[in-house]
Amino acid sequence: MNPNPLPHLQLELDKLKACIHCGICLPACPTYKVTGSEAESPRGRLYLMKKLLEGQLAPEAVKPHLDQCLACHGCETVCPSGVQYGKLLLSTREDMAQQDTSGLRAFKRLIFSQVLPNHGLLVLGGQLLRLYQRSGLQKMVRQLGLLNIAPSLAHQEGLLPEIPARKALRAGAGFGDPTGETVALLTGCVMDIFYNPVHWDTIEVLAANGYWVVIPEQGCCGALAHHAGETDITRQLAEALVEKTLKVNPQWIVVNSAGCGSSMKEYGHLLATNSLIAEKAALFSERLVDVMELLAKKPLAPFKNYAMHETVTYHAACHLYHVQKVKQEPMQLLAQIPGVTLVPLTQMEACCGSAGIFNVEHPELSGEILDVKMEHLQTACHQGGASTVITGNPGCMLQLEKGIQDSHLPMQVRHPVSILAQAYRSPQSTTPLNPKRTPQ
Ligand code: SF4
Ligand code: SF4
């Protein structure tokens, strides 16, 4: 007898049956909005999962449509029936991944298990990219159109932000008030290479608000492997991260990357059957918060900078808004900054098309979804006067920077904690202050 090829999806059968086919989710689905195809809608994808489970459709017929799903969870937010689409998608992807014997899957597993967790290698890659940009080579390559012979490479190169000088955060360092609540700051991979100054801004804001910020030994959180259904790799990475982080005995575990945060909040569930670590994993997820979520828990410390004049708009990262349900907090915090005016962004909670590595794997569809977001940003900029778009996820930051660059929009992209950090500096300071470094 053949073993069930869809064991995880089979376990979620009740969740699948909860769909009443009403179609309310369709207008909330970015892939449906740009393709108009039922198979690229939440309802259509749930139907495909059902037919797959019943053996009426082969995995090859279903996979392309599930691959084109952003896993943005926008459909869950509007579903009147409470269908847990994200869990169903993940279970199906996990089952399908296990049946996939292709070289592409093997390559992705290598990246997830060997490259992303190797922080030294990522730092080296970041330094080489910075050299490529600052030496003038990037300008020359772009002017001569050298990458146009490989359009996908040209697209990926176009996603690169200006790589900042990286100031390393060493494990064991502590910042702020040692008598305050202990916060373990997780620095991640993409965030630390592409947006390292955001970590220093995070430390500065948390320290200004009385927290003792420590940098634990850490590693990759496994979020990208998780989204791809490679759960065994995620479990291994999660176990190591839980053990290392809890060693500093934090009251809070803070992350400033929405995609990583949403995966780490699942660790309790992911490791629940491993009796050796289940309790610790549950504790880890309980204490895991996005930096905006933590800052919104009590009144902010007084600001120092009353000379700011910024009109901003806010794009809600899917993994913060739809998955972690951190919806209003970032805007409530931004609204408290003197001199900062927040103008609305139409459909702020709609995905920008970044979605982990979706923009690398599906550049065309991702670009079409980004175009919709850019139309709304144009309005916020030209009619609302916004010169900055704020978002709390590195993937969204990369994607929006690309959209802004391509459409020559006079806007910049910033993380919400960076705006707060600016408000905690004296108006005279031209460069970010480093928090006072206190040995542990
Ligand atoms: S997923 Fe929810 S909103 Fe979409 S068709 Fe099913 S029940 Fe309706
Ligand atoms: S997760 Fe996003 S892209 Fe996927 S079906 Fe739901 S709304 Fe559409």
Q: pLDDT tens digits, residue range 236-287?
A: 999 999 999 999 999 999 999 999 999 999 999 999 999 999 999 999 999 9
Q: Whose CA is nearest to atom 2 of ligand 1?
A: 79
Query: Are 183 and 287 in a shared domain?
Result: yes
Out of 29, 73, 77, 83, give the residue to mutate to test ligand 1, the one with the largest number of ligand atoms within 8 Å of its CB: 83
Q: How far is the CA of 11 from the centre of ligand 2 (A)?
A: 21
Distance CA 412, CA 133 (A): 19
- Amino acid at position 152, single letter: S
- Rounded to the nearest 5°, which phi and psi values hold at 330? -60, -40
Q: How far is the CA of 258 from the centre of ligand 2 (A)?
A: 17
Q: How far is the CA of 40 from the centre of ligand 1 (A)?
A: 14
Q: How many CB atoms lie within 10 A of CB 321?
A: 24
Query: Are 331 and 249 in a shared domain?
Result: no
Domain extent at residue 406: 310-423
Give CA angle at 40 (97, 363), nearest 5°: 75
**Nearest one of 357, 378, 375 to 366, comparing CA atoms:** 357
- Of 297, 329, 352, the one marking the end of a domain is 297
Q: How long, in residues, is the chain?
A: 440
Query: Are 67 and 111 in a shared domain?
Result: no
Q: Whose CA is nearest to atom 4 of ligand 2?
A: 69
Let me know if residue 369 belongs to a domain.
Answer: yes
Predicted local confidence at residue 147, as pLDDT: 76
Query: Are 322 and 292 in a shared domain?
Result: no
Q: Whose CA is nearest to atom 6 of ligand 1?
A: 19
Q: How far is the CA of 190 from the centre of ligand 2 (A)?
A: 24
Query: Are 93 and 129 in a shared domain?
Result: no
Classified as helix, coil or strand, 349 is coil
Q: What is the largest CA-CA distance in the chain?
A: 74
Distance CA 219, CA 117 (A): 6
Q: Are 136 and 129 in contact (CB under 8 A)?
A: no
- Amino acid at position 86, single letter: G
Let me know if residue 399 belongs to a domain.
Answer: yes
Counting ligands in written order, the one closest to the CA of 75 is 2
Let me know if residue 356 belongs to a domain.
Answer: yes
Does 353 contact ligand 2 (Cβ within 6 A)?
no
Query: Are 255 and 343 in a shared domain?
Result: no
Does 85 contact ligand 2 (Cβ within 6 A)?
yes
Let me know if residue 166 belongs to a domain.
Answer: no
Out of 16, 47, 79, 84, give the residue to mutate to test ligand 1, the one with the largest number of ligand atoms within 8 Å of its CB: 79
CA dihedral 23→28→34→40, nearest 10 degrees, is -50
Query: Are 288 and 362 in a shared domain?
Result: no
Distance CA 215, CA 174 (A): 7
Query: Are 47 and 81 in a shared domain?
Result: yes
- Of 114, 129, 158, the one marking the end of a domain is 158
Counting ligands in written order, the one closest to the CA of 35 is 2
- Of 264, 297, 330, the one marking the end of a domain is 297
> Strands across the sheet with 174-176, in order?
288-290, 252-255, 182-186, 212-214, 174-176, 437-438
Distance CA 189, CA 52 (A): 35
Q: Whose CA is nearest to atom 5 of ligand 2?
A: 42
Let me know if residue 212 belongs to a domain.
Answer: yes
Predicted local confidence at residue 3, as pLDDT: 63
Does 355 contact ligand 2 (Cβ within 6 A)?
no
Predicted local confidence at residue 159, as pLDDT: 79
Strand partners, 341: 311
Distance CA 205, CA 425 (A): 10
Q: Whose CA is nearest to atom 7 of ligand 1?
A: 19
Domain count, the chain: 4
Does 46 contact ligand 2 (Cβ within 6 A)?
no
Query: Are 52 and 82 in a shared domain?
Result: yes
Residue where the block lists tokens 């989204």? 227
Distance CA 275, CA 159 (A): 42
Q: How far is the CA of 76 from the centre of ligand 2 (A)?
A: 8
Query: Are 85 and 119 in a shared domain?
Result: no
**Nearest one of 440, 357, 423 to 394, comparing CA atoms:** 357
Query: Are 319 and 417 in a shared domain?
Result: yes
pTM here is: 0.91
Predicted local confidence at residue 435, as pLDDT: 38
Let me know if residue 401 belongs to a domain.
Answer: yes
Q: Are 300 and 337 in contact (CB under 8 A)?
A: no
Counting ligands in written order, the one closest to the CA of 41 is 2
The closest-lying atom of ligand 2 relative to the alpha carbon of residue 32 is 8
Which CATH number belongs to the domain containing residue 392 in this structure? Answer: 3.40.50
Let me know if residue 429 belongs to a domain.
Answer: no
Which CATH number belongs to the domain containing residue 66 in this structure? Answer: 1.10.1060.10
pLDDT tens for each residue of the chain, 440 residues long: 456 788 889 888 889 999 999 999 999 999 999 999 999 999 999 999 999 999 999 999 999 999 999 999 999 999 999 999 999 999 999 999 988 899 999 999 999 999 999 999 999 999 999 999 889 888 888 888 877 777 777 777 877 888 888 898 999 999 999 999 999 999 988 889 999 999 999 999 999 999 999 999 998 999 999 988 899 999 999 999 999 999 999 999 999 999 999 999 999 999 999 999 999 999 999 999 999 999 999 999 999 988 899 999 999 999 999 999 999 999 999 999 999 999 999 999 999 999 888 888 899 999 999 999 999 999 999 999 999 999 999 999 999 999 999 999 999 999 999 999 999 997 766 454 443 333 33
The closest-lying atom of ligand 1 relative to the alpha carbon of residue 82 is 2
Does 71 contact ligand 2 (Cβ within 6 A)?
yes
**What Å distances lie between residue 306 and 48, 264, 309, 325, CA to CA?**
55, 36, 9, 31
Query: Are 129 and 24 in a shared domain?
Result: no
Counting ligands in written order, the one closest to the CA of 89 is 2
What DSSP assignment string belongs to 238-293?
Answer: HHHHHHHHHTT--SEEEES-HHHHHHHTTHHHHTTT-TTTHHHHHHHHHHEEEHHH
**Nearest one of 88, 394, 402 to 259, comparing CA atoms:** 394
Q: How many CB atoms lie within 10 A of CB 267?
A: 29
Let me know if residue 94 belongs to a domain.
Answer: yes
Out of 49, 70, 93, give the residue to mutate to test ligand 2, the one with the largest number of ligand atoms within 8 Å of its CB: 70
Q: How far is the CA of 405 from the centre of ligand 1 (A)?
A: 36
Q: Specify burial of residue 439 (Cβ count, 10 A radius: 0-12, 13-18, 19+).
A: exposed
Q: Whose CA is nearest to atom 6 of ligand 2?
A: 75
Does 403 contact ligand 2 (Cβ within 6 A)?
no
